[in-house]
Amino acid sequence: MIQNDATRQSTAELLGRLVAFDTTSRNSNLALMAFVGDYLTGHGVPFRVSHDAAGGKANIHALIGPQTPGGIALSGHVDTVPVDGQDWSGDPFTLRLRDGRLYGRGTADMKGFVAAALAAVPDLLARGLARPMHLFITYDEEVGCHGARRLIEDLDQSGLRPALCVVGEPSGMQPILAHKGKLSVAVTVRGGTGHSSQPQKGVNAVHAAAEAIAFAAAEARRFAAAGPFEDGFDPPYTSVHVGTMHGGTILNIIPERAEFMMEWRTIPADDAETELARFRAHLARTIEPAMRAVLPGAGFSFAVQSWLPPLSLDADHALATMVKQASGSNSTGKVSYGTEGGLYQGAGIPTIVCGPGHISQAHQPDEWIAQSELDACDGFIRRLADRLMA
């Protein structure tokens, strides 16, 4: 087991420890979680661990202060996107400080926030909180928020549910009231092969996929032209996008299979499942009949890859007021990327996004976070804790 003492460590020191673990989503995070567990144990902080089905990944739910429901949660994931193929100027898993910037994979998204929450533990303990400060540390946010879903199950089992939640995704410490939902779908087209000189005897899966993709492009234009619209998002409407397409083998063979990946990013006023149903109904009505007239088994099949609900918090909610005061921000915002926040809100926990760094620095080679952002986050967490003392 990794040894860790209970001495006070700065956010940057803890960030260096967290960055050193390669927790790319394809990897286990158990070594990092063992470090965090030892750190919390060294400070006498109780915590719960929940695992994925295979046992190779874990969440931690820690409570500082009363071991009761209520209070506020600080939530952050520790999985990261890959560094493969990126041109880094140094080791992505060794934290480097240069010109006030801390470089390393996950610094902005979002080990910086997790490090700040852990560094605050001694100060939070010293405050004698009247209500608990929860720490949610999760796995697999980057590939579908699987850890947050599992953590919500554990909250149902423990009954130790916070009243409020702050997700520390990079927002430049600006409170984010809303984000879009996301539904990603893998579409498979089944056709029938044959020689290209007799196209009437086969079912061209690439042609069918192209017709479907053309409808997706028309849907994108419909959203942009007709909405509905919601100010604050960029773009201020639901978007649909096809990101990959594969099919066929050689030119003179009718392709019997094609695949493409698509996604909807929905404003809170739209529902992704409704849009998927509309898409499927169009294909069933306009494309599949001709395919099945030649080959009864031809057609489209759909496999949902990931789904995240949108987040929407009322600007007058007490959590929005509290986070604005603690962050020192006079404004709030909305973002088009997704977070675990929509899941927590859907589980009945009012949630807001506010964290250090900027999304433009995430997922990039030489990912970085400014030391000044970490300093701001340190103060933010302590001011939130002061509100839990009353």
Residues marked as catalytic: 79, 141
Strand pairing category for 96-98 and 299-308: unpaired
Contact 162, 314 (CB under 8 A): no
Between the alpha carbon of residue 137 and those of residues 37, 56, 73, 75, 145, the distances in Å are 11, 15, 10, 6, 12
* CA-wise closest residue to 104 among 206, 195, 41, 19: 19
Residue type for position 283? L
Residues 224/226/230/235 CA torsion (nearest 10 deg): 0
Q: Interior CA angle at 361 toward 76 and 327, to 5°?
A: 55
* CA-wise closest residue to 38 among 147, 154, 118: 118
Q: Interior CA angle at 12 toward 6 and 16, to 5°?
A: 85
Alpha helices for the chain (secondary structure H): 11-19, 30-42, 112-119, 121-126, 146-158, 205-226, 272-286, 288-294, 318-327, 341-346, 371-388
